[in-house]
Amino acid sequence: MLPLYDDNRLRRTFPFITIGLIGLNIIMFLMELLAGERFIIAWSFVPARFIANPIGEGITLFSSIFMHAGWMHLLGNMLYLGIFGDNVEDRMGHFKYFLFYLICGLAATFTQFAFSMFSNIPMLGASGAIAGVLGAYLLLFPQGNVYMLFFRFITPVPAWVALGFWIVIQLISGAGSLLGAGQMGGVAYLAHIGGFFAGIFFTLPFSKRIHY
């Protein structure tokens, strides 16, 4: 199932932070394409490198959450951010939403880091931060309709079903990844899980109100 769009009738503000985040992710990806592998390695979060030099590598905690491993990685993440981010931004307010996004990205990175502290594999991607947005959306709009592409049909699905299914898949995959080095098939599922539950945890203090 692939989400296509949601119900935005209750949204009251223009989501310029969400649009700005999408733009920043695209710009960073274009820089990756232009600058090549050395740029990617330099600005990705590498656990072993961070252990050795946490102050010098601290900037990668932020730069890595705006980078992507390929076009499909980028497009998939921006689709989810575009669908779910605008409504969460509307409920939190622009500044709080931006801060919330960064916090969820950091929580996702440190969750993955906890299980792969001495890994030399670069970590990059907005998935963890966006997972936090999904957690917030689930808490704020559990009954909101998300229109999903299911085979050749588009059908509305309550957010609690669509996002509940998503996090169950992440939990199953994350449990499987623990048999390895915290990753499975190059996907940091533990980061997704950490970001999602950070999103749920921080939604109440960051949001203006919750609608059920």
* Buried b or exposed e, range 103-119, using 16+ CB within 10 angstroms: bbbbbbbbbbbebbeeb
Give the whole-angstrom CA distance, residue 44 versus residue 61.
8
Taking alpha carbons only, the member of 54, 188, 193 closest to residue 121 is 188
Which residue among the candidates 44, 64, 119, 127 is catalytic per the annotation? 127
Residues, the chain:
212
The DSSP symbol for 202 reads: H
CA 204 to mean position of chain CA atoms = 18
Which residue among the candidates 73, 119, 192, 207 is catalytic per the annotation? 192
Residues whose CB is less than 8 angstroms from the CB of residue 19 and which lie 6 or more positions away in sequence, other chains included: none
Question: Residue 68 corresponds to which tokens in the numbers above?
Answer: 């992507």
Give the whole-angstrom CA distance, residue 148 versus residue 152.
10
127 labelled catalytic:
yes
Which conformational region is residue 63 in: left (phi greater than 0), alpha (psi within -120 to 50 degrees), or beta?
A: alpha
211 labelled catalytic:
no
Question: Residue 200 corresponds to which tokens in the numbers above?
Answer: 């749920």
Give the whole-angstrom CA distance, residue 139 versus residue 136.
5
Q: Which positions are catalytic?
A: 127, 192
